[in-house]
Amino acid sequence: MISLYKHPVYAILKGTYKKELLRLIVLERKPSIRLRSYELLNLHLPPSHPISSALLDEISLLHSGNFGEQRVDHAIQHFSSNSFLIFQNAVFPFSGETIQIDHLCLTPFFALIIETKNMKGHLKLNKESGQMYREKDGKVQCFLHPVLQVERQQEGLEYLFTGIGCTLPIYKLVVFTHPEVFLQAEGTHPLLPPEICRFEQLTVRVRSLLREHNKSHLKECDLQELSQTLLNNMIPDRFYDVMKRFGLSQSDLASGVWCNECKQLSMKWLSLRWRCTLCKRTDNNAYKRSIEAYFRFISPALTNKEARQFLGVDSPDTMRRHLHSMNLKTVGNCRSRKYLSPFH
């Protein structure tokens, strides 16, 4: 076995090898399109709507998940180098569907999939039933066992690797990032699966993998080529059909322009300003959220008249100036002109 001090990734562990000082994050995490869509929908959904409570719960879960992923991002970025490439929130095609990987690390020795769970409370994991349970507010919540989830990601990545002739072995970890989580195994297996760890154990686990797996499968140049191939095979995160997800139609949405101060659709175009009719606050960019909402939830194209109806603007010239200021692509001329969504 190669001594740790002679290991090619020793620089990752100590951070002293000059060649490794350049930290490489191949794919950086971007704001979640799904979360953006949920939050935007919440602005245009009446509080009394039947799905409002479920929508707020999902927004809370996504924010919690993002926080956990950012914790892991920060923890593993110290390993990043020419020999340790990191992808954040990578989405690849697999069997007519997709796999979404929170963190994918590529080294000359192995690929590492990290799935992040930012959940608190007493979690019971049963591999035999394929479920994870949590009791909250007197109710039992059921989730897919996270190891099954990460195994599917591993299967999808193996399929992709096979297709491009890559023999890099793939390992996986499920990291629970919330400090107030208690993990318990259920069923005939009294111990948690070895892929599961707490956040505090993450860097120790990564270092152990680097020590234990020292057979190089790729040269550094090949690693860079592999990373580019994966980037070319990725599915971009551009649009999420939230209306289909919740079974909504245009009639479910409230029109208007949102005031961040009053938390209502109470802004109107008054005296050459977007002004809240309640608190009198002005925000001349507020209308852009409503235009985005129309594109995301109603149609990928809109006319001047449709925009005026949704925003509550009387003047066609005023609306034309607003739409023109957003630098939207258009089709047609004059009255037939349509403004096209940049989100599709």
| Residue 59, pLDDT score | 94
Burial grade of 266 (CB within 10 A; 0-12, 13-18, 19 or more): middle
Domain 255-340 has CATH 2.30.30: no
Torsions phi, psi of 201, nearest 5?
A: -95, -5
Question: What's the rounded Cα separation, in Å, for the pair 110 and 172?
Answer: 10
Helix (H, G, I), strand (E, B) or coil at 290: helix
- CB-based contact 281:261 (threshold 8 Å): yes
For CATH 1.10.10, list the domain ranges present in the chain.
255-340
Whether residue 126 contacts residue 132, with contact meaning beta carbons closer than 8 Å, is answered with: yes
pLDDT, residue 220, reads: 81
In this prediction, residue 135 carries a pLDDT of 82
What is the reported pLDDT for 187? Answer: 85
The pLDDT of residue 16: 40
pLDDT of residue 236: 80
Cβ contacts of residue 110 below 8 Å, gap of 6+?
168, 169, 170, 171, 209, 213, 217
Q: What is the pLDDT of residue 333?
A: 87
Task: Point out which residues pair with 282 in neighbouring strands.
Answer: 275
Low-confidence spans in the chain with pLDDT less than 50: 1-23
The C-alpha atoms of residue 266 and residue 176 are separated, in whole angstroms, by 41
Three-class SS state of 235:
coil
Q: What is the pLDDT of residue 44?
A: 97
pTM (two decimals) = 0.82
